[in-house]
Structure 1
Amino acid sequence: MKVAVLVTCINDSMFPDTGKAVFRLLRRLGVDADFPEAQTCCGQPMVNTGYLDEAVPVVRAFADAFAGYDAVVTPSGSCAGSARHQHGLVARRAGEPRLAQGPKVYELSEFLVDVLGVTDVNAYFPHRVTYHPTCHSLRMLGVGDKPLQLLRAVRGIDLVELPAADECCGFGGTFAVKNAETSTAMGADKARHVRDTGAEVLVAGDNSCLLHIGGVLSRQRSGVRVLHLADVLASTEEDA
């Protein structure tokens, strides 16, 4: 299987260690994935705000960058959801069906559990952790408990349940900009639930959501740090 990694814009610009963690993890599992250097944005910001015409060249660039691969893996339910559901909208608008006919894009936990058939990735992370299921991974992709299956198999971890876990954190891309007060209130609720668990680390599958929740937790001086699922799964005893 020829596999490529969509690192995503936010990870490339703000969380490069997450992209590196994905490659370390896949190589540990015997997957020699590529990083197509022509990759840019998946087009989600444009589609979400109604700029479908402006999204056409971006989605066209995406299709070209990942042409010829059997699967694309990304550490983002949000971007995987965009590729699997929004690219079809853009393709129909542009009259270019091929834009939605490329390789299937998998969120990281989907690829590990459904494609590779593994839940124990030989990770070690001796910390008290709680997990936030991001909206796109939960509702658009339907990943279910796959991230939790992977976390439960991590050696040394103390995984605790997050109250009201399925509630949105309030980020929602441009929602946080257009509805700042509502977004802030939702983020405060999520941060309160995180603090109630007594966790040292909040884990999620999208760094965009962690950026939002982490900002609230930081301003509250909670002492809770945020970390992407890939970073936890890539951790070993050597990193401890």
Structure 2
Amino acid sequence: MRIALFITCFNDTMFPRTGRAVTELLERLGHTVEFPQAQTCCGQMHFNTGYRPETLPMVRRFAEVFAGYDAVVAPSGSCAGMVRDHHRVVAAQYGDDSLAAAVEQVVPTVYELSELLVDVLGVTDVGACFPHRVTYHPTCHSLRMLRVGDRPLKLLRAVKGIDLVELPAAESCCGFGGTFALKNADVSNAMLADKMRHVLDTGAEYLCAGDNSCLTHIGGGLSRLRTGVGTMHLAEILASTEGDVR
């Protein structure tokens, strides 16, 4: 399968290792991964803060750049959700018929990583090995917008050597929410404190999630408390093999 990697701004800027992990994983499974150089932001930040007409050029660029691939994979439930749920809205309200048609062609090919692996490629055991105690946080967009359900957990359960422990109150938000953490800092910090307490209760060495934005928020709190708990994107654990040293 010919798959395009939509890296997302956050990963491209701060977590390039996640994109490399996605590429290594999919190539190991026998697929061709391409990185369209002309890709830009999906427009989520603009859309969510009320600058919806300004999102139009990014929606148009996405539809042009990612046309013609068998699938488009994003290591982010947040950005995949923006494309799947809101690009049609922007195209219909501010675009024209040709843009709406182009968006309609591309949107059904866009998947969050766990959706692509389980639903499209039909795999749960990807040949990973990660001998550590891990707990999984389902991020809000993946859980509530994309409804990925237990797909990430199916993939993690198949990882060789992993000690996967359930996260108490897993479906509770971590408090990040993009600009929410800035505009409502006190509430955000209270939600973060609850999430960190639950993570520490598991005794996990690593917290795993499908969005690095949430991992940055939670991981920052865990680091400030010097807990020793690390954070890893789902792709990085799934790309790990017995030869990896961590």
What residue is the counterpart of 1:117 in the other structure? 122
Q: List, as ranges, runs of 4+ consecutive aligned residues in structure 1 with deviation greater than 6 Å.
A: none
What is the deviation of 1:99? Answer: 4.9
CA deviation vs aligned residue, 1:23-45 (integer Å, no higher than 9, x gap): 00000001111100001111110
1:192-215 Cα shifts (integer Å, max 9, x gaps) = 100000000000000000000001
Aligned residues of 2:56 and 2:95 also touching (Cα < 8 A): no
SS at match of 2:37: coil
| Alignment check: 8 A CA contact 1:131 1:204 kept | yes
List gaps (5 residues or longer) in structure 2: none
What is residue 200 of structure 2 aligned with on the other side? 195
User: What's the offset of the Cα at 1:100?
Assistant: 2.4
Distance, in Å, in 2 between the alignment partners of 1:3 and 1:102 is: 15
Match of 1:205 among 206, 210, 214: 210
1:139 corresponding residue in structure 2: 144
How far off is 1:102 after superposition?
3.3
Match of 2:180 in 1: 175
Aligned length: 240
- Which residue of 80, 102, 105 corresponds with 2:105? 102
Which structure 2 residues correspond to residues 221-240 of structure 1 after superposition, within 5 A?
221-240=226-245
SS of alignment partner, residue 119 of structure 1: coil
User: Contact conserved, 1:88 with 1:99, CA < 8 A, in 2?
Assistant: no
Q: How does 1:14-53 map onto structure 2 within 5 Å?
A: 14-53=14-53
Q: RMSD in angstroms over aligned alpha carbons?
A: 0.9
Distance (whole Å) between structure 1 residues aligned to residue 191 and residue 10 of structure 2: 22
C-alpha distance in structure 2 between counterparts of 1:39 and 1:131, whole Å = 30
Tell me how far 1:170 sits from its aligned partner.
Answer: 0.5
Distance between the aligned counterparts of 1:102 and 1:12, measured in 2?
Answer: 25
> d(CA) in 2 for partners of 1:228 and 1:102?
29
> C-alpha separation between the residues in 2 aligned to 1:178 and 1:17?
30
**2-structure distance, mates of 1:172, 1:233:** 25
TM-score normalized by the length of structure 2: 0.96
- The secondary structure found in structure 2 opposite 1:238 is coil
SS of structure 1 residue aligned to 2:227:
coil
Deviates more, 1:63-72 or 1:31-40: 63-72
SS of 1:155's partner is coil
